[in-house]
Structure 1
């Protein structure tokens, strides 16, 4: 059972719903320690001053904002502490918006909200109303001394809250170089074939269909080496993506491969 990392209340209008915040994502990263090659001794790091190489204690450390090369505005920890957001146990809803209007680029970290001991009914009321309306709530709350902008939305039988980045942190597509101009327009045949290919490859969204194959390979290698197996590295052949000379021919070949794959899947399930 996942453990709550924060408790408070959803607040909107005059309604308060006690809730607990539970992490929704358990990342499966493979973590390594840095070791010395010869004897597998752990490598440790020290904070040292660039000027003289002397080790610096935490008490001697301040924050510096670089305003020019090697020029800093120095801020003391107490000065930053004075500007920290006021600790609060409220997730304050500011607005409701159409869930479909939120660009996924804005989503950051996700959590579940679980109702408090006496909040089952108001929690269910908010969940049902948001699900039926297709709305999401825009809210703010403080977690670990940092204020977050967040989106609350129904996910299955639960309410989920995702922290989001601010608008000035998302790079507009208009700033990207190399995007096709208005003069680059696919013809009707190319577009029809591309739509056919997309349709032939379309399946229901099932997250369990996809796994982190790279992580699985690393863990398999670790298990084999831990068991004493002698591993001989074989470099992968370099993969290259050549220029597509004939777009229509590439689409036709892709469609043919997709149809063959579909027939193969049908034969396996027959």
Structure 2
């Protein structure tokens, strides 16, 4: 049974819904430690004052905001604590918006919300109301002494809550100088038609289990081989010459022909859009310790 990492309540108008929060993902990164290459011993990180060379005790460390190189404003812990948001246990819903209006770039970390004691009926009511209206709840909640903007949406028979970034944290793509100018870079109708055929030929249903982190799997396999004493032969780096950019139309046609050949000589027709079926959300797994 997974352990809730936060408990509180959703404030929905005058309705209060007791909820428990669980992590919805478990990252599976391969972590390495830093070792001394000569002794194989794990090294220690120390906080050292470069002006004296002495290690600084943790109690003597304060926070400083850099104004300019080597010029800081020192902030005391008590000053930051005075600014901490009020530690409530409430997820305060402020708005309901159309899910399609939210750009995915605003989503950050996902969680599951489950009903707490006595909250099954209002929880189910909120879930069904959002399913029927196609809307997402935008709310604020304090998690770990920080006020978070969150989105709550139905996921199968559960409510999923994602922390969100604020608008001023999203960088505009217009700041990229390399983006092509639509007035200068023109595509032809024939090129667009073939590109659309290629997109349709590669279209399919979203199957998340189809995609795997092959790099992580290869790293783990490498670790297991080395741990068992196998000698690993390193491949020499190849001098790669920059390949010429292929003709766009030729590349499109070759790509489309390759897909047709793979599918038996016919370009796959795009599947008709079907209304989203209700899916049962996977039970959240306990986070590995």
TM-score where L is the length of structure 1:
0.94
Instruction: Tell me the C-alpha RMSD between the 2 structures.
Output: 1.5
1:123-162 paired onto structure 2 within 5 Å: 123-162=123-162
Higher helix share: 1
Aligned to 1:186: 187
Q: Which residue of 1 aligns with 2:174?
A: 174
Partner of 2:86: 86
Give 1:259's aligned residue: 260
Q: C-alpha separation between the residues in 2 aligned to 1:144 and 1:17?
A: 21
Cα offset, 1:117, TM superposition: 2.3
Matched, 1:213 2:214: yes
What residue in structure 2 maps to residue 22 of structure 1? 22
User: What is the alpha-carbon distance in structure 1 between the residues aligned to residue 136 and residue 84 of structure 2?
Assistant: 28
Counterpart residue number, 1:268: none
Whole-Å separation in 2 of the counterparts to 1:90 and 1:242: 57
Please list the CA deviations of residues 227-259 of structure 1 after superposition, one character each: whole Å capped at 9, or x if unmatched. 111111114646677453411000000001111
Q: Report the counterpart of residue 247 of structure 2 in structure 1.
A: 246
1:85-109 Cα shifts (integer Å, max 9, x gaps):
1111000001111111100111111
Task: Report how many aligned residue pairs link the two structures.
Answer: 264
1:118 — aligned with what? 118
Give 5+ residue unaligned stretches, structure 1: 265-270
Q: After superposition, what is the alpha-carbon deviation per residue over 1:165-207, rounded to whole angstroms, capped at 9, x for unaligned?
A: 1101101122121111122221100100110001111110011
The change in CA–CA distance for 1:34 and 1:5 in structure 2 (over 3 A counts) is: same
Taking the aligned partners of 1:175 and 1:243, their CA distance within structure 2 comes to 28
The structure, 1 or 2, with the larger RCO (C-alpha pairs under 8 Å, 6+ apart) is: 2
> CA 1:207 to 1:237, structure 2 compared with 1: closer, same or farther past 3 Å?
farther
Secondary structure at 2:93's aligned position in 1? strand
Query: Structure 2: any 5+ residue segments left out of the alignment?
Result: 266-289
Instruction: Report if aligned partners of 1:94, 1:137 keep a CA contact under 8 Å in 2.
Output: yes
- Structure 1 contact 30–215 (Cα < 8 Å) conserved: yes
